[in-house]
Chain A
């Protein structure tokens, strides 16, 4: 894929989460859809303003857990009943209460790894390059104490000048054009 060129979007910087949430809400009402907020800690109201509610992380976690449970249980049953049957204290070969603990641990292991790596994958990470890192004020603020709203250029409503005027009415600290 050839490297993308041109403008990635317009990045507005705010000092408080309230201003960010307000601007995001207004941008959504104005019809912008391809946009994202960047904050130094999770701001739930910003997600609401973006209308981003559902994540698929819990589903992945559930699937991982079920997969772990099945793997653990089948492994134990196969090993102790067919693979390597041993007579221990005359217990039945299929002594399921004894199989609970390892199957349970396998459930947690698979579910936990699915939740963690599923989250990373859904977030598209690791992504060591991102156009926003080109913005001079982004790196010094986004992970410390500043709140950013980026309206992306692939939004049908995006107009370099009109969008900038739209953002400036919320009195941001700055509006920066970010290149790919």
Chain B
């Protein structure tokens, strides 16, 4: 239709006309509508067929863990590709990769809470769930790598008839404390955060069994103001404690490498660079999970393009720190004037496994750090989904490069070897993807994926006007 005069600009209802920023939550929502939306996913009696199919597929892949671990227990770690000199292999690569993924969940739930980044509220719960499931997958690897996993409790300090105690001057002993504390605090933080929402589910559930289970899990939560104040205080304290915790966990993991006198490992840049890499890969995994979930459950109103844009920005920042770390490693191998360091870097880039280094540079630096500057691409859902896989592949190769290239050609050429993962290595690794997905699908079906109470706090209706009823009536009439 031909019209005269200026064409009115089409304003996207999801953007703020003043700033052009995407809204954190779509306009027009009420306390009831967000509650119905989120609780409806859990309390529906029609389980989506696609969910069933996904669970079947994921659980099938997870069987890989069962088979690989059974064979490992029967035969021993010899079925893996680990030998001398490459004694660490997939077990440690996958451990560091999975635990790094978990770090974004804690960053979102704790650090962004302290910085009052309220946009985090909608992605916080499933990012925390991702943390826990990633730690489950991660924790398995060192336990299996010790060779006799049924004696794993020997890692803990306890009075025993052998009169043997752990050796606290080793970073490997620190790891036990760091990872177990991290797992415990993450589970507690996640559960405490869920208690009010479980109360909502209890009150909205129709099935007696669901009412009963959610009733017990919600501890009898009834939304009392005194309870809320203590609850908020505890949440803030847990966030304050988790913030140094998450930084310390990957720092401790980097000490496993940095304390060893190996070329390429013995560097002081490892802790910050490991933490940044962990957050980088973790945000990539949050995107991998958030993008299909918001599409499948139609949560575009609550997980908006603003969230995706912000997460992409965090990835850009942490990816740049990682790039700086890579650059500094190359620089130091030259500047240190150490023959061994120099050779290690040459071998890493151009040795027989040099291809892994260039995959790492391509997927971690070249693709993401050139494209994420563009806002168009940061709000392009398809591109971000693709990129999240690229970065996670890149971060896996980072750990591969660090673990393998330093080990397989060390100081003494006569002891040089190579590293080749076996089918059991691959089966266990791929099995953990299935395990992770299975756990996540179960979580999405049976627990509130988005914190309802925190979403309610973001709505404009929460504003308390002085004078109470009167003012509200006037406003309602004006609307």
A7 at interface by CB-CB < 8 Å: no
Interface string of A65-109 (1 = CB under 8 A from B): 000000010011001100110101001000100110110111011
Interface of A is mostly: helix
- Name the residue among A15, A58, A120, A125 with the largest chain B CB count within 10 angstroms: A125
B164 at interface by CB-CB < 8 Å: yes
Interface residues of B in 427-477 (CB under 8 A from A): 453-454, 456-457, 461-469, 471-472
A-B contact pairs, 18 of them (CB 8 A): A37-B224, A40-B35, A47-B228, A50-B225, A58-B237, A80-B167, A91-B169, A101-B255, A106-B177, A108-B244, A112-B184, A112-B188, A112-B238, A112-B241, A115-B237, A126-B220, A142-B223, A144-B32
A46 at interface by CB-CB < 8 Å: yes
Closest to A23 in B: B468
B230 at interface by CB-CB < 8 Å: yes
Interface residues of A, count at CB 8 A: 75
A105 and B178 in contact (CB under 8 A), knowing A41-B456, A115-B238, A170-B468? yes
Identify which of A25, A36, A128, A145 contacts B224 (C-beta below 8 A).
A36
A102 and B169 in contact (CB under 8 A), knowing A109-B184, A120-B219? no
Tell whether, in the assembled complex, residue B219 and residue A145 are in contact, meaning their CB atoms are under 8 Å apart: no
A165 at interface by CB-CB < 8 Å: no
- Give the A-B pair count, Cβ closer than 8 A: 226
Select the stretch in B199-207, B262-270, B280-288 that faces chain A: B199-207
B16 at interface by CB-CB < 8 Å: no
A141 CB to closest chain B CB (Å) equals 8
Tell whether, in the assembled complex, residue A39 and residue B223 are in contact, meaning their CB atoms are under 8 Å apart: yes
A→B interface (CB under 8 Å): 15-23, 25, 36-47, 50, 52, 55, 57-58, 61, 72, 75-76, 79-80, 83-84, 86, 88, 91, 95, 98-99, 101-102, 104-106, 108-109, 111-113, 115-116, 118-120, 122-123, 125-130, 132-133, 138-140, 142-145, 170-171
Q: How far is the CA of A76 from the CA of B204 in the complex (A)?
A: 50
Closest to B470 in A: A22
Chain A neighbourhood of B216, CB < 8 A:
126, 128
Chain A neighbourhood of B377, CB < 8 A:
none
Tell whether, in the assembled complex, residue B234 and residue A99 are in contact, meaning their CB atoms are under 8 Å apart: no
Closest to A149 in B: B225
Closest to B456 in A: A41
- Name the residue among B30, B220, B252, B471 with the largest chain A CB count within 10 angstroms: B220
Q: How far is the CA of A102 from the CA of B163 in the complex (A)?
A: 21
A18 and B469 in contact (CB under 8 A), knowing A119-B231, A126-B220, A144-B35? yes
A142 and B222 in contact (CB under 8 A), knowing A55-B230, A57-B230, A113-B184? yes
B423 at interface by CB-CB < 8 Å: no
Closest to A93 in B: B169
Chain B neighbourhood of A170, CB < 8 A:
468-469
Chain B neighbourhood of A95, CB < 8 A:
169
Tell whether, in the assembled complex, residue B464 and residue A17 are in contact, meaning their CB atoms are under 8 Å apart: yes
Task: With A47-B229, A101-B248, A143-B203 given, name 17 new contacts (CB 8 A).
Answer: A18-B463, A18-B467, A38-B225, A39-B225, A40-B453, A41-B196, A41-B456, A46-B225, A57-B234, A88-B167, A106-B181, A111-B237, A111-B241, A112-B241, A116-B188, A123-B226, A123-B227
Identify which of B203, B226, B234, B248 contacts A116 (C-beta below 8 A).
B234
B417 at interface by CB-CB < 8 Å: no
Tell whether, in the assembled complex, residue A144 and residue B203 are in contact, meaning their CB atoms are under 8 Å apart: yes
Q: How far is the CA of A24 from the CA of B478 in the complex (A)?
A: 26
